[in-house]
Amino acid sequence: MSVTRFTDDTAQIALDKFRAGRIDRRAFLTAMAGLGLAVAARPTTAAAAAGEIVICNWGGAALEAFQKAYGAPFKAATGINVVVDGAGPATGAIRAMVESKNVTWDVTDGGMVDAVVLGKGGFVEPIDYSIVDKSLVGPDMAAEFGICNYTFANVLAYDAKKTGGKVPAGWADFFDLEKFPGKRTMCKWIQGQLESVLLADGVKPEEMYPLDVDRAFKKLEPLLPHIIFWEGGAQSQQLFRDGEVTLGNIWHTRANLLHKENHDFAWTWSQQLLFSSAWSVPKGNPAGKKVFDFINSSLQPEGQVTLLRLMGNGPSNPKALALMNDDDKAVYPLAPQNVATALKIQAAYYADNEAELQNRFLDFISR
């Protein structure tokens, strides 16, 4: 769930830039394509024709970005056209396509959680690692039914004007109302929320899963009156602009935008919560094995750096780092100076537990 919401949010960021005249139409469309998203109104579901690859993502600014980052290099190398469909690869849609034997997408931009869930249900193909080179991605990014196409993070953002210039050292400071007075903001969607609470309560990263939910709720309860929960990335950004919050658990892309508009807004990579998005291949995809050639191509570092610059999505190929300038590295979750204390969100755990956890969390925070 968090991955798809993040993807949707990056598309909104690109759309806002386009409307404000900060990027041109070509860059906007490239950004949309990079995320596998359609522009503006979502098109009807694209059906693959002979000799092409159809990607499905969540539409918006990522359509052009995905096309530039992934589609164009693949076409240049193979002559095979890449079509980006922004209809949104919801797990229910994939299930329906496979069950009806009417699959129109070759590869979908979801999350590792979706890949695990769909794989267990028999709705996606195993990634063919005889074609896809898993060494192109970092550790723990190549799974049976999904391979990481980009990364992103939840980070601790802060308003330095409100903190008096003090920099929070990690999630323990998020709970310290004496050291950092003022409201906080957290996301109402569960992934990456209880992990921050448990890190603040002293749980070691290697002992994080399975989550001790009761312990997390006990730690979080006294802070609830001081928290405003956000639903979308734009809202998390606005809470800082309006001066309503001092600290926040927000996506790194939104923290970066805040910093660009006002340097009083900053964030720390300390104890960042790291997510992996993933390609998955619906069972019975029209392009067959050729889709794995595309996936392999999309993992090349050049295209991934293009996507980082267009959309803020972090490369999954470690070799992309060598192509980055200092500005790129500053917003890259896996840059060595940023990743040392990161906690990787465990997809397998959420694949088994997310639905129940989400309901409990919503009940808890709405009391």
pLDDT tens digits, residue range 154-181? 999 999 999 999 999 999 999 999 999 9
Tally of CB atoms within 10 A around 323: 15
Q: What pLDDT sits at residue 43? A: 40
**Cα–Cα dist 132/110, whole Å:** 18
DSSP state of 344: E
**Cα–Cα dist 240/263, whole Å:** 12
| 210 preceded by a cis bond (ω within 30 of 0) | yes
DSSP notation for 156-174: EEEEHHHHTT----SHHHH
**Cα–Cα dist 179/196, whole Å:** 18
- Buried/exposed 223-260: b ≥16 CB within 10 Å, e otherwise: eeebbebbebbeebbebbeeeebbbbbbbbbbbbbbbe
E strands in the chain = 52-56, 81-85, 107-111, 124-125, 147-159, 184-187, 227-230, 247-251, 265-282, 343-344
Residue 113, C-beta contacts closer than 8 angstroms, at least 6 positions apart: 1, 3, 191, 347, 350, 351, 354
**Cα–Cα dist 159/166, whole Å:** 9
State the average pLDDT over residues 355-366.
94
pLDDT tens digits, residue range 241-280? 999 999 999 999 889 989 999 999 999 999 999 999 999 9
Cβ–Cβ under 8 Å, residues 36 and 3: no
Is residue 141's pLDDT more than 70?
yes
**Which CA distances in Å does 255 have to 96, 362, 366?**
37, 24, 26
pLDDT tens digits, residue range 12-65? 676 666 666 666 655 655 555 555 444 333 344 666 666 899 999 876 666 888
